[in-house]
Amino acid sequence: MKRFVLITRSLLLSYVRQPATVFWNLVFPLFLLVIYRLVFGSAIISGVDYITWVVPGVVALNILSFGMIGSSAFMTQMRENGVLRRLQATPAPPVLLFAAYIAVNVVMCLLQTAVMMLFALITFHWTTTLSGLVISLPMILIATIASVALGQCISSLVPRQSVALAVGQLLYFTQMFTTGLVLPFDMLPTWLQNITRFLPAYAIGDLVRSPLIAGNLGADTVRNLTVVALYTLAAGFLATRFFRWEQKV
């Protein structure tokens, strides 16, 4: 247990010392909220004001950013810097290292989500119900695990950190505007809706948004959980299959 705590603490400190990680997972989502509020502040979507509707979407975006950009780049950087090779040489078993890494990712993502919600509450008077927060917590946790799995899949398949950042950002920005997170889904052409319904961002956004707005799970919860589970299993398999302790020469 002591080894687990020490490794977790070291990884946590490494995370918060990364400027790119702090920007993409904390500063950028807050910046998005401000921009969206200024542009669409008076809009009404699905019977609620825009800020009430968009905050859960930005929460989902933050989770995706954390996994596909921050987590993937961080793991790739540790490989490039030889940190993974040194960790492999320690007496701690690999499963303990991975458990600590997942724990740090989950804790960091939940803390950043809480900060963003608090920012929306103080700045824009965003509100939700206590029951909605309670119901959303396991959905946010599931979304975090799925996003981290996608990020680790990227880090295992790409050769270096710069490529991990490029791939993560491409997937992130592609899904930002096509899965109903910050713009109404029905604004998209029907053919595009039929495609993007099967993207992880759509399922994650729906799982998070329904509890925070309606205070209950949505009608498509089983479908969305199935989609998220399939992406998580596939990404986890690929991440494990192609994981490398050392940088390829």
* Selected residue with higher pLDDT from 168 and 6: 168
| The dihedral sign for the CA sequence 62, 65, 68, 72 | negative
Q: Give the CA angle between residues 229, 232, 236 to the nearest 5°.
A: 145
What is the helix (H) or strand (E) element at residue 61, kind and residue range?
Answer: helix 50-65
Q: Where are the domains of the chain?
A: 2-241
pLDDT band at 15 (very low <50, low <70, confident <90, very high): confident
pLDDT at 110 > cutoff 70: yes
d(CA 246, CA 56): 38
pLDDT band at 207 (very low <50, low <70, confident <90, very high): very high
Q: What is the pLDDT of residues 63-104, one digit of tens each?
A: 998 889 888 888 888 888 887 787 777 766 767 777 888 888
DSSP state for residue 25 in the 8-state scheme:
I
Residue type, 67: G
Cα separation of the two ends of the chain: 35
pLDDT at 101 (0 to 100): 80
Please answer whether residues 72 and 152 qualify as being in contact, where contact means their C-beta atoms are separated by less than 8 angstroms. yes
- The number of residues in the chain equals 249
Mean pLDDT of 176-192: 89
d(CA 103, CA 97): 10
Mean pLDDT of 119-144: 92
Q: Could you give the percent of the chain with pLDDT greater than 70?
A: 95
pLDDT at 7 > cutoff 90: no
For the entire predicted model, the pTM comes to: 0.88
